């Protein structure tokens, strides 16, 4: 019996979080299936973050609770996606056209001006938007984290890897393909149908994420010829932020 699709769930949890789970010797097929379950793991993270907001709001107020919740989310994920956003902003923000130079900046562990500004702006926006989500904050955060982890799977499947010498963690997922993408899209659609306020809002979210993904795919291909792990992290952060913007805007 092929258990790789099931083991892929645990592989996805280990890849996307820093939860203290048992160490398992995953096979390549297990990692191949991990991307199929990124939206599911994202939903779990969103549930945790939303629960923190609900629990802390009566004591701290909505804004401080949102700060705490974002901090918990960063702790659980090990700032995995934030790191990708900062590196991507540094590499792409300076208008550097040389592919080798862009890739070198992506591998540099130091954070530059563009990366620092990107982190400050996006984290501040997330906090401010979460504080305005109101009674549906848990559902909204599950939706944001689940759908936000779907565009990176799309880009990873449709774009080539930028360099064969890259040893980033995303290389573990390089063999996942269109079947895993289809499962990820089904997960995302299921959470969207279940948790979106109504079909119109779901449609807006799909259009917004498609437009964002198309723009990022064009940008990544133009600069380095494909995707990197850092670019996927940046895609997740921007996708999650886009979803929060839509959800707050439609309830205004």
What is d(CA 24, CA 22) in angstroms, rounded to the nearest whole number? 6
CA angle at 202 for the pair 147 and 204, rounded to the nearest 5°: 100
* Total-model pTM: 0.93
**How far from 84 is each of 4, 54, 61, 80, 182, CA to CA, in Å?**
27, 28, 31, 7, 24
Q: What is the pLDDT along the chain (252 residues), one digit of tens a residue?
A: 567 777 888 989 999 999 887 777 778 777 888 999 999 999 999 999 999 999 999 999 999 999 999 999 999 999 999 999 999 999 888 766 778 788 888 888 888 899 999 999 999 999 999 999 999 999 999 999 999 999 999 999 999 888 764 455 555 666 678 899 999 999 999 999 999 999 999 999 999 999 999 999 999 998 888 999 999 999 999 999 999 999 999 987
Long-range contacts of residues 211-217, Cβ cutoff 8 Å, at least 24 apart: 212/151, 212/238, 212/239, 212/242, 213/151, 213/154, 213/155, 213/239, 216/151, 216/155, 217/155, 217/158, 217/159
pLDDT for 130: 98
pLDDT for 175: 65
pLDDT for 111: 87
């Amino acid at each position: 019996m092929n258990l790789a699709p099931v083991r892929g769930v645990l592989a996805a949890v280990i890849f996307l979080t820093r939860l203290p789970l048992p160490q398992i010797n995953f096979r390549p097929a297990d990692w191949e299936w991990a991307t199929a379950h990124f939206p599911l793991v994202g939903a779990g993270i969103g549930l945790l973050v939303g629960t923190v907001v609900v629990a802390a709001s009566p004591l701290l107020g909505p804004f401080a609770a949102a700060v705490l919740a974002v901090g918990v989310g960063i702790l659980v994920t090990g700032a995995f996606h934030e790191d990708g956003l900062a590196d991507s902003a540094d590499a792409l923000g300076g208008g550097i056209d040389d592919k080798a130079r862009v890739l070198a900046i992506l591998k540099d562990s130091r954070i530059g001006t563009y990366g620092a500004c990107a982190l400050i702006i996006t984290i501040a926006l997330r906090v401010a938007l979460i504080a305005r989500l109101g009674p549906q904050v848990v559902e909204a955060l599950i939706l944001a984290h689940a759908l936000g982890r779907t565009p990176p799977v799309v880009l990873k499947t449709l774009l080539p890897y930028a360099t064969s010498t890259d040893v980033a963690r995303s290389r573990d997922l390089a063999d996942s393909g269109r079947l895993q993408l289809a499962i990820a899209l089904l997960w995302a659609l299921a959470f969207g149908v279940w948790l979106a306020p109504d079909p119109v809002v779901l449609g807006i979210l799909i259009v917004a994420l498609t437009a964002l993904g198309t723009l990022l795919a064009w940008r990544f291909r133009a600069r380095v010829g494909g995707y990197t792990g850092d670019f996927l992290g940046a895609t997740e952060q921007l996708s999650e932020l886009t979803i929060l913007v839509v959800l707050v805007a439609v309830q205004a």
